[in-house]
Chain A
Amino acid sequence: MRLRGLVRPYVVTGGRAHASRNTLDAVTVVIATREQVAGLSPEKKRLMELCRGGALSVAEIAAHLSLPISVTKVLLSDLVDSGHIATHAAVSHAARPDMKLLKDVLDGLRARL
């Protein structure tokens, strides 16, 4: 189950240093959009198997697969390109978060007390 030690991360990502992963954030929510995994590398199959169970953030996928977030982003960006997964855009990285969002976070935290 654990990958580390068996396969070096650069093998996992096919030696690609910089994929189009910059659109993915650690908290981008990822969902599987395709059942078909034929032709995918073992790592991507493993990732798809995990994602088929439901929505998870990029960081959670990384942790469950014992991969660094950076490597996970590279794998995921390939899977976005090939149509296997879709993402809910992470919150916009505007200089200022919108008031509604901050209010929702605040209300959500207060409701826990």
Chain B
Amino acid sequence: MASVLASDGVYLRDTVRTAVKLLVVGPFAIGKTTFVGTLSEIRPLRTEETMTEAGALVDDLAGVNGKSTTTVALDFGRLTLTDELVLYLFGAPGQKRFTQIWKDIAFGALGALVLADTRRLEQSFEVMGLLEELGIPYAVAVNAFDGAPAFPGAEVRDALDLLPETPLVFCDARDVTSSTQALITLVEYLSTRNQENA
């Protein structure tokens, strides 16, 4: 099995020493998986976590007999940025009730890109609130869906009640350049923010 994976370029370069992660989040069917798949150098991977209804993570089913559980899927992809540095993108569901998954996956994340659709902007509120609670800085990317009305940035900012500093970009999650630009905007913001807080 190992040799098959090696020939697929599945493994990291031996020289990789640092791995960082960014989150790609948003409501149902907003383009999270598409975004991760567009940028990933490996076939996007998926893992599933089992949660109790109360949002606790289950790694030991012995403790949850009789309680109902849900499965939450996380998609992720990888971008090798230099010989030593690799970036992982995690697509995470926007629902707050998956508390423990959120804490686990958000821990150590540099930041998040919140995807939004102009036809249902309010659906991105929940995840924005969650990121604020967890102290994870984010930028917002409005995904260009066919048939979605195009609004000027200022109107979208207003509707989303964004802080003046929060970046807003328009993007097409199916397009490499557009998606890369959205991530660049996010990381530029993270750098600026870092400098100002220094």
Contact = CB atoms under 8 A, between A and B. Distances in A.
Interface of A: 8-10, 13, 15-17, 25-29, 49-50, 52-57, 59-60, 62-64, 67-71, 73-74, 88, 90-91, 93, 96-97, 99, 101-113
Interface residues of B, number: 59
A17 to B, nearest CB: 4
B104 A102 contact: no
Contacts of A70: 49, 57-59, 104
A105 B6 CA distance: 25
A91 B86 CA distance: 11
B29 interface: no
B194 A67 contact: no
13 contacts: A54-B11, A57-B86, A63-B45, A64-B45, A69-B104, A90-B108, A93-B107, A102-B194, A103-B191, A106-B188, A109-B183, A110-B184, A111-B81
B5 A64 contact: yes
Interface string B85-104: 11110100000000000001
Contacts of A54: 2, 6, 10-12, 14
Contacts of B18: 88, 91, 101
B197 interface: yes
A93 B134 CA distance: 13
Interface stretch (B60-68, B125-133, B146-154, B159-167): B60-68
B interface SS class: mixed
Contacts of B11: 53-56
B60 to A, nearest CB: 4
B187 A26 contact: no
Contact of B2 (A50, A60, A63, A71): A50
Contact of A13 (B12, B60, B176): B60
A59 B47 contact: yes
Nearest to B84: A104
Given A26-B21, A105-B85, A105-B110, A53 B16 contact: no
A67 B47 contact: yes
B121 interface: no
A6 to B, nearest CB: 14
Given A68-B50, A106-B184, A106-B191, A27 B21 contact: yes
